[in-house]
Amino acid sequence: MPQYTPPIRDTRFVLEHVVGLDRYANVAGFAAATPDTVEAVLEEGGRFVAEVLFPLNQSGDLEGCTRHDDGSVTTPKGFKEAYARFVESGWGTLSAPEAFGGQGMPHVVSTAFQEYMISANMAFAMYPGLAHGAIAALVVKGSPEQQQKYLPKMVSGEWGGTMNLTEPQCGTDLGLIRTRAEPQADGSYRITGTKIFISAGEHDLTDNIIHLVLAKTPGAPDSSKGISLFVVPKVLVEDDGSLGARNAVSCGSIEHKMGIHGNSTCVMNYDGATGWLVGEEMKGLAAMFIMMNAARLGVGLQGLGVAETAYQNAVQYARDRRQGRALTGPAEPGEKADKLFVHPDVRRMLMDGKAWTEGLRALCLWGALQADLEHNADAEEDRQLAGDLLGLLTPVIKGVGTDRGYQIATNAQQVYGGHGYIREWGMDQYVRDARIAMIYEGTNGVQAMDLVGRKLAQNGGRAVQAFGRLVMTEIAAGKANPAVADLAQRLEKAAGELQAATMWFLANGMKDPNNVGAGAVPYMHLVGTVAVGLMWLRMATAAARLKGEGAGDAAFLDAKLVTARYFAERVLPEAGSLRRQIEGGAEAIMALPPEMFAAA
């Protein structure tokens, strides 16, 4: 039976020593995040997901969602009751605005909880997760009336929410959208079209679902500049807040997916459904990006969350399973075989899982801190810096978090040998679930293009320069500290590869923009390697200091130092290879005519 334990001690270590939560007590929202409150969220929230959501993870995968002839959808057994408890205990409201019934806590805190929820049950976590994206858009772009009408019940979790972007003919390229919005005399619009891959599009968890839908108004340009955002409730909401008539939106079918079977991914048919414009006409793309950026950070967190559970189970299996003997001679001569843990290659996979999950956790929480500071820091320059760092790192957290998440889940499955391939052990689910995170909310290739095509050049390269200064400052401090000097030196080398790659783009991107496109994904991984390396430098520095002070659990601190060393010795060297791939440029990649790709 699979198991999951929320990594509370590790989260706490990151919040204290990487995020430095106590330094931001003066920032709006952080006052609420007292050590006691944070501890309660981690402990109680962790218990809730482990006891209520995790037991439904495997059964939800096996059962999946069911669409009935009337278009209604039943979620897997137990989801409805678990969701009711989720709403009741308020776990979805942690960082929602107090004005709409939220608890107004920093994103850092809700992100810590969300990781646990994803680890326990990714498919379940997507129901409130998608609502959060819709909430974010309404908070920024909704009219006061729309906000009052929808937000309190969306924030409480009483109502669900979705993001309707994709259509059969368009995913990334939203300019191709065909869904139409016809203005009506009363100021509303009639929405007509088909949306696909709509997560949580229809289900039985809530009385209402508030769809945010991209569509085109009459005469709008045939490009992404012509799209507008609409709010389309499943059930119309009367002015007194009561539920009215059913709107003309329905689930046409549930997609047959490789994984996340517990989430109802729907084809949604809009047949003249009544909707209302959110924000300005033809400014839908900007509104969409509010949802999207929140969602991308959430998807990066999915990479981490699923990987964590897969990793934990692989660790347990390596402790239990006996097979073969240590290379250095029998570790337990009295037993017929040693445990898997004696084998260096099994440990290599587990150390890789450990180094990346702990490193990505630090990066995700530190990224969430930037989201908080971007809005709430006192000084304009602090808000700008946080916004720059967050913008730069959002595609990295999404792309690298999910690429590595899939790799960690695959390695965890590998530790099980043949048993990893068999449904009973549950390991294949983590791989299948992790796979989607590399694709949705913009494929990882799209993330990489967002990074190199938009974020690098914005404001004269301000963000990447700020990131570089931060990294180099902390490296300089690390080099002066004998306890972490080797790691700092290796990180300096990796950061040098990143700088060289950035310079190469500058020098060669003007000649041929394909040179940048061809190096985009390796570059994203190069930034991710340096960013997670920075997290490890912070963690190792803190661990060495605490150890020197005799504070904390020495074994825990030693483990941090060993894992930091693993990252330095085994992961950071990839930076050189990534740089050289980038410097390979676009020529060989773009040279062949498409018809020569077939070997036949």
What residues between 481 and 540 interact with a copy of itself by CB under 8 A? 512-514, 516-518, 520-521
> Which of the ranges 274-282, 444-452, 465-473, 475-483 carries the binding residues for a copy of itself, by CB under 8 A?
444-452
In the complex, the smallest distance separating the C-beta of residue 154 from a copy of itself, rounded to whole angstroms, is: 25
d(CA 579, CA 504): 9
On whether the CB atoms of residues 302 and 122 are closer than 8 A, the answer is yes
> Which of the ranges 35-43, 242-250, 370-378, 423-431 carries the binding residues for a copy of itself, by CB under 8 A?
423-431
Interface pattern 93-132 for a copy of itself (x via CB under 8 A):
----------------------------------------
Nearer to a copy of itself, 283 or 325 (CB): 325
Instruction: Answer yes or no: 167 catalytic.
Output: no
- Record the tokens describing residue 94, joined without a space: 């942690």
339 contributes a contact to a copy of itself by CB under 8 A: yes
In the complex, the smallest distance separating the C-beta of residue 274 from a copy of itself, rounded to whole angstroms, is: 28
> Which of the ranges 164-172, 200-208, 228-236, 278-286 carries the binding residues for a copy of itself, by CB under 8 A?
164-172
Binds a copy of itself (CB under 8 A): choice among 418, 460, 482, 550: 418
Distances from the Cα of 205 to the Cα of 87, 158, 262, 267, 420, angstroms: 10, 9, 12, 18, 32
What is the SS3 assignment for 385-408?
HHHHHHHHHHHHHHHHHHHHHHHH
- Record the tokens describing residue 222, joined without a space: 């045939």
d(CA 92, CA 96): 8
d(CA 333, CA 572): 37
Binds a copy of itself (CB under 8 A): choice among 93, 111, 166, 263: 166
Binds a copy of itself (CB under 8 A): choice among 421, 458, 476, 548: 421
d(CA 265, CA 262): 9
81 contributes a contact to a copy of itself by CB under 8 A: no
- Record the tokens describing residue 179, joined without a space: 């869904």
In the complex, the smallest distance separating the C-beta of residue 109 from a copy of itself, rounded to whole angstroms, is: 18
Binds a copy of itself (CB under 8 A): choice among 343, 398, 455, 538: 343
d(CA 552, CA 144): 49
552 contributes a contact to a copy of itself by CB under 8 A: no
Helix (H) or strand (E) holding 74: strand 73-74
Binds a copy of itself (CB under 8 A): choice among 18, 310, 346, 408: 346
In the complex, the smallest distance separating the C-beta of residue 140 from a copy of itself, rounded to whole angstroms, is: 26
179 contributes a contact to a copy of itself by CB under 8 A: no
> Which of the ranges 3-11, 92-100, 123-131, 385-393 carries the binding residues for a copy of itself, by CB under 8 A?
3-11
Binds a copy of itself (CB under 8 A): choice among 7, 102, 262, 367: 7
What residues between 10 and 39 interact with a copy of itself by CB under 8 A? 10
What residues between 319 and 338 interact with a copy of itself by CB under 8 A? 319, 322-324, 327-328, 336-337
Nearer to a copy of itself, 149 or 525 (CB): 525
d(CA 429, CA 57): 9
- Record the tokens describing residue 570, joined without a space: 């085994």
Rounded to a whole number, what is the distance in angstroms from the first to the last CA of the chain?
A: 46
What SS3 state is found at 130?
helix
Spatial CA neighbour of 217 closest among 225, 228, 206, 209: 228
- The residue type of 51 is E
- Record the tokens describing residue 196, joined without a space: 């696909």
180 contributes a contact to a copy of itself by CB under 8 A: no
What residues between 373 and 412 interact with a copy of itself by CB under 8 A? 406, 410
Nearer to a copy of itself, 245 or 588 (CB): 588
Binds a copy of itself (CB under 8 A): choice among 180, 283, 347, 462: 347
What residues between 235 and 294 interact with a copy of itself by CB under 8 A? 255-259
d(CA 373, CA 21): 12
558 contributes a contact to a copy of itself by CB under 8 A: yes
58 contributes a contact to a copy of itself by CB under 8 A: no
Nearer to a copy of itself, 175 or 272 (CB): 175
Nearer to a copy of itself, 111 or 444 (CB): 444
- The residue type of 546 is L
In the complex, the smallest distance separating the C-beta of residue 576 from a copy of itself, rounded to whole angstroms, is: 6
439 contributes a contact to a copy of itself by CB under 8 A: yes
- Record the tokens describing residue 545, joined without a space: 């200091």
Distances from the Cα of 567 to the Cα of 315, 371, 583, angstroms: 18, 27, 24
Taking the CA atoms of 106, 111, 114 and 116 in sequence, report the sign of the dihedral they define: negative
What SS3 state is found at 234?
coil
Nearer to a copy of itself, 189 or 311 (CB): 311
Binds a copy of itself (CB under 8 A): choice among 96, 213, 231, 318: 318
Cα three-residue angle 314-317-321, rounded to 5 degrees? 145
Nearer to a copy of itself, 256 or 549 (CB): 256
The secondary structure of residue 66, as a DSSP letter, is E
Binds a copy of itself (CB under 8 A): choice among 125, 448, 475, 535: 448
DSSP structure string for 28-39: TTGGG--HHHHH
Cα three-residue angle 119-123-126, rounded to 5 degrees? 95
Distances from the Cα of 302 to the Cα of 298, 420, 436, 542, 543, angstroms: 6, 21, 10, 27, 27
Residue position matching structure tokens 């009973």: 424
> Which of the ranges 27-35, 318-326, 476-484, 538-546 carries the binding residues for a copy of itself, by CB under 8 A?
318-326
Q: Which one from 115, 358, 374, 441 is the annotated catalytic residue?
A: 441
In the complex, the smallest distance separating the C-beta of residue 384 from a copy of itself, rounded to whole angstroms, is: 29
d(CA 592, CA 594): 6
Interface pattern 194-233 for a copy of itself (x via CB under 8 A):
--xx------------------------x-----------
Cα three-residue angle 86-90-94, rounded to 5 degrees? 120
Nearer to a copy of itself, 100 or 356 (CB): 356
> Which of the ranges 35-43, 149-157, 311-319, 534-542 carries the binding residues for a copy of itself, by CB under 8 A?
311-319
Spell out the residues 6+ positions from residue 496 whose beta carbon is closer than 8 angstroms to its own: none
In the complex, the smallest distance separating the C-beta of residue 5 from a copy of itself, rounded to whole angstroms, is: 4
- Residues with catalytic roles: 441
